[in-house]
Amino acid sequence: MKVLVIGGDGYCGWATALHLANRGHQVGILDSLVRRHWDNELQISTLTPIASIQQRIQRWKDLTGKAIDLFIGDICNYDFLLKSLLTFQPDAIVHFGEQRSAPFSMIDREHAVLTQSNNVIGNLNILYAIKENFPDCHLVKLGTMGEYGTPNIDIEEGYITIEHNGRKDTLPYPKQPGSFYHLSKVHDSHNIHFACRVWGLRATDLNQGVVYGVLTDETGMDELLINRLDYDGVYGTALNRFCIQAAVGHPLTVYGSGGQTRAFLDIRDTVRCVELAIEKPADPGEFRVFNQFTEMFNVGDLAKQVQKASESMGLKVEIQHIENPRVEKEEHYFNAKNTNLLDLGLQPHLLSDSLLDSLLNFATKYKHRADLNEIMPRVKWK
Ligand code: NAD
Ligand code: USQ
């Protein structure tokens, strides 16, 4: 299958592009490289040293003989997007190409507007390009579990059946996201759902949980293929941050009481889930939603797990509860369904097996690159 990975220079996109290429798909990467620009602007850097996208792709070709097409540009530029799609002729588009940090979107008005315009307009351009030129192309879009928020009932996969005043319907599950970034994903989901209903497009929304780890079969093949690993207060996510904090001897930064429960998955499962979704496409007119995660943890328990695993490596780790910079519930019910991907054959990696090989070993190897000033969170929700 010809698969275009939009955002293929990023954390999830790079690993996925290589995985799909390894599995025999013909892969193209489209990326504006804006994430590298935002890193420069914020003066932050990935813990792992990442090569340029051109070097990465060349190394992959040298090692495997498999070529990956490269399109550098912004999907908010419709002419560029269309030209790239007409050149590549995709059967499936995997769309990772968005501004994905909640704290970044909460810095100020400018960053909220940047996040929502980049994400919503880019996604809308893709929908129009598919409708006009590739109506059979399957869109696999990265959404987020954070679209649902933390309701006091079980979270279903995209839809919920409701009985109201004696009538019954299956409707989109209510959304209560926790940042302007998470809201942008809700807006995307609505736009995609509309395009499926009205134009008959086929799409899968992958409501992904927090991703952890840095190692996949492909990115582990060579130092030049190494993936990014963010640990700073804007782009670093909970578990990745905790492991790097453990490696550099910084207390683990649990926000507030630490009772916030989230859904998590290993990056090795991210790449497999995308593969499963493209290999069994949604039907024309279908807006399919999969909750893409494997386990649920609260952040306080995660910190304890990292502390225990670190001790087995001889690291002494402290846990610090710091004032929560976000406005979010710290003690709440959270129980989400995730059977759709398991039914398609996903065999999850478990955190208890991944902490050392996919995280703590890397964190220790590259700890000399960490800037300790970037660890504490600086962005507040109000
Ligand atoms: P990332 O920042 O590492 O990668 C995103 C990539 O998209 C970057 O290379 C960036 O340059 C590119 N990009 C952004 N806007 C673009 C545009 N307008 N045109 C072209 N390219 C553009 O992010 P990531 O962690 O790989 O996340 C990828 C996707 O997965 C995002 O949509 C994110 O919302 C979703 N997701 C991520 C996580 C996670 O824990 N990392 C969890 C759930 C969902
Ligand atoms: N948290 C801490 N300490 C930290 C960092 C985070 O306690 O040092 C807490 C946060 O307060 C929050 C939880 O951990 O309650 C998750 O925060 P996060 O930064 O790991 O994740 P989040 O902001 O939700 O965003 C990340 C990705 C985003 C993706 C989302 C999936 O950046 O792209 O959409 O995870 S989900 O959380 O399921 O919506």
Q: pLDDT tens digits, residue range 363-373?
A: 999 999 999 99
Q: Please report where in the chains the tokens 């134009």 appear, as a residue.
A: 199
% residues pLDDT > 70 (the chain): 100
C-alpha to C-alpha distance for 39 and 41, rounded to whole angstroms: 5
Residue to mutate (ligand 1; options 76, 84, 96; most atoms within 8 A of CB): 96
pLDDT (0 to 100) of residue 45: 98
In a domain, 379, yes or no: no
Strand order in the sheet with 92-95: 69-72, 26-31, 2-6, 92-95, 138-144, 202-208, 287-292
Which pLDDT tens digit goes with each residue over 118-155? Answer: 999 999 999 999 999 999 999 999 999 999 999 999 99
Q: Does the CB atom of residue 12 touch ligand 1 within 6 A?
A: yes
Q: Which amino acid is at 291?
A: N
Q: Is residue 366 among the annotated active site residues?
A: no
Reference 213, options 228, 224, 225; nearest CA is: 228
The answer to the question of residue 352 being in a domain is yes
Give the mean model confidence (pLDDT) for residues 325-341: 98
Q: Which of 16, 144, 253, 270 is catalytic?
A: 144
Sequence-distant (6+) residues with CB within 8 A of 178 are 102, 146, 149, 326, 327, 328
pLDDT band of 319, cuts 50, 70, 90: very high
Element (H, E) at 157: none
| pLDDT tens-place string over residues 46-101 | 999 999 999 999 999 999 999 999 999 999 999 999 999 999 999 999 999 999 99
C-beta 9 within 6 A of ligand 1: yes
Nearest ligand 2 atom to the CA of 100 is 33
Q: Is the CB of 260 under 6 A from ligand 2?
A: yes
How far is Cα of residue 378 from the mean position of the Cα atoms in its chain? 22
Residue 382 lies in a domain: no
Q: How far away, in angstroms, is 315 Cα from ligand 1 center?
A: 32
* CA dist., res. 104 & res. 44, Å (int): 12
Atom in ligand 2 nearest the alpha carbon of residue 241: 8
At 247-271, the pLDDT tens digits run 999 999 999 999 999 999 999 999 9
336: which DSSP letter? B
Q: What would the pLDDT profile of 274-295 be if each residue is shown by its tens digit? A: 999 999 999 999 999 999 999 9
What phi and psi values does residue 15 have, to the nearest 5 degrees? -60, -40
Which of 12, 262, 296, 323 has most ligand 2 atoms within 8 Å of CB, for mutation?
A: 262
Q: Residue 328 has which token pair?
A: 């979010």
> 308 C-alpha to center of ligand 1: Å?
31
Concerning whether 144 is annotated as a catalytic residue, the answer is yes
Q: Return the pLDDT at 24.
A: 98
> Cβ distance 1 to 26 under 8 Å?
yes
Cβ–Cβ < 8 Å for 351, 212: yes
Backbone angles phi and psi of 68, in degrees to 5: -120, 125
Q: Which residue's CA is minimally distant from atom 19 of ligand 2?
A: 237
pLDDT band at 354 (very low <50, low <70, confident <90, very high): confident
The reply to whether 283 falls in a domain is yes
For ligand 1, say whether the CB of 31 is within 6 Å of any of its atoms: yes
The closest residue, in CA terms, to atom 33 on ligand 1 is 100
Kindly report the protein residue whose alpha carbon is nearest to atom 3 of ligand 2: 254
CA distances from 78 to 36, 126, 143, 197 (A): 22, 8, 22, 23
With respect to residue 377, please indicate whether it lies within any of the assigned structural domains: no
The pLDDT of residue 357: 78
Residues of the domain holding 113: 2-372
Is 0.75 surpassed by the pTM of this model? yes
Per the domain annotation, does 33 fall within a domain?
A: yes
Q: Please check whether residue 381 lies inside any domain of the structure.
A: no
Is residue 170 part of the annotated active site? The answer reads no
**How many domains, the chain?**
1
Which CATH number characterizes residue 327's domain? Answer: 3.40.50.720
Looking at residue 219, what DSSP letter applies?
G
- Residue 380, in any domain of the structure: no
Residue 356 has pLDDT above 90, yes or no: no
pLDDT band at 242 (very low <50, low <70, confident <90, very high): very high
Helix (H, G, I), strand (E, B) or coil at 264: strand
pLDDT digits (tens, 9 = 90+) for 159-210: 999 999 999 999 999 999 999 999 999 999 999 999 999 999 999 999 999 9
Q: Tell me if 207 CB under 6 Å of ligand 2.
A: no
Nearest to 12 by CA among 209, 180, 203, 297: 209
Atom 14 of ligand 2, residue of closest alpha carbon: 238
Whole-number Å distance between alpha carbons of 5 and 30: 6
Q: Best of 210, 257, 359 to mutate for ligand 2, by most ligand atoms within 8 A of CB?
A: 210
Which ligand has the minimum distance to the alpha carbon of residue 302? 2
> What is the number of the ligand closest to the CA of 81?
1
